Amino acid sequence: MKPKIFVDRSLPAYVEQFLSESCLIDKWEEQDTIPRDELHRRLADAQGYITAGRRIDEELLQAAPNLKVVSTISVGYNHFDIEAMKRYGVIGTHTPSVLDETVADLVFSLMLGVSRRVAELDRYVRDGNWKRGDGANLFGMDVHHATLGIIGMGRIGEAVARRARFGFEMEVQYYNRSRKPEAEAKYDAVYRDLDLLLATSDFVVMLTPLSEQTKGMIGKREFALMKRDAFFINASRGATIDEAALIEALQNGGIRGAGLDVFEKEPVSTDNALLRLPNALLLPHIGSATTKTRNDMAMLAAQNLVNVLDGKQPPHLIAEFKDAAR
């Protein structure tokens, strides 16, 4: 008999077809997020679960005694309680690599958008404020030939570095847990310690995964090291920075601007001070949000899940579960 799985969102038809060849699919059909008690009920006899950010904790695992695998349609998996999943014998998979180029495109959208004040000046025109004689009040900053500092030179970091070096002729420097000699050679990238990178970059791009080591990594001290005309871009996770410290730096002229795709609390509440800052460009966590990339991620999540239920090694098993999967 085919194993039963639960999917808490809509999937492309071809992905559902692929899953149906190996699994019995139970799917949440509503647009709103499935309520927690209903999720527990639907998982009661499920062996697999496909989601994209739902918290997997002890309470959920207790409600799903037959669960073997949770496949998340995301690179990040900080919504997984890894230790609890191990105790319950549930494996976790994710979808890295497929979205690298798409996220790198978005990083450059944020860099260009905030430095050339695209959203701010769009509002300026729409509000009827554009007048003959406008001059320096519309000026922005160049991206080309500027110095880019990348914090976290993983796959996405390298995709950003390639665009920066060969598309915009930027000087590329980076900070990472370990040196990347191949990346240095490919992109003429220079390794810097974090403080020096912050002090010498025109654009600082945050691309580290969220972990205990990177939580709150950039705070008041770090923003104070940056140039007053520099821009900070965060496309990693909101919790990697101290958001209050960023707000203070933007309000007080400590840095010129910020482009953010991620926040400490998502969705952003209407009382968040960032919403009232013209030098902050804000996006609703859309780093991978193109039709092709999201469809590719969904297919990879489906392949991960089917492989586990078939007793095979999935393409992208989360590292912490490698011992458990043997």
Indicate if 162 belongs to the active site: no
DSSP 108-146: HHHHHHHHTTHHHHHHHHHTT---TT--GGG-----TT-
Catalytic residue among 38, 59, 182, 266: 266
Rounded Cα gap, residues 131 and 301, in angstroms? 52
Q: In the Cβ-directed half-sphere of 316, how many Cα atoms lie within 13 Å?
A: 22
Rounded Cα gap, residues 324 and 242, in angstroms? 35
Per-residue tokens: 282: 């804000």
Rounded Cα gap, residues 67 and 70, in angstroms? 8
DSSP 240-273: GB-HHHHHHHHHTTSSSEEEES--SSSSPPTT-G
Indicate if 36 belongs to the active site: no
Indicate if 40 belongs to the active site: no
Catalytic residue among 120, 184, 285, 320: 285
Catalytic residue among 237, 256, 294, 316: 237
Phi, psi of 260 (to 5 degrees): -125, 130
The dihedral formed by the CA atoms of 148, 149, 155 and 159, expressed in degrees to the nearest 10: 0
The catalytic residues are 237, 266, 285
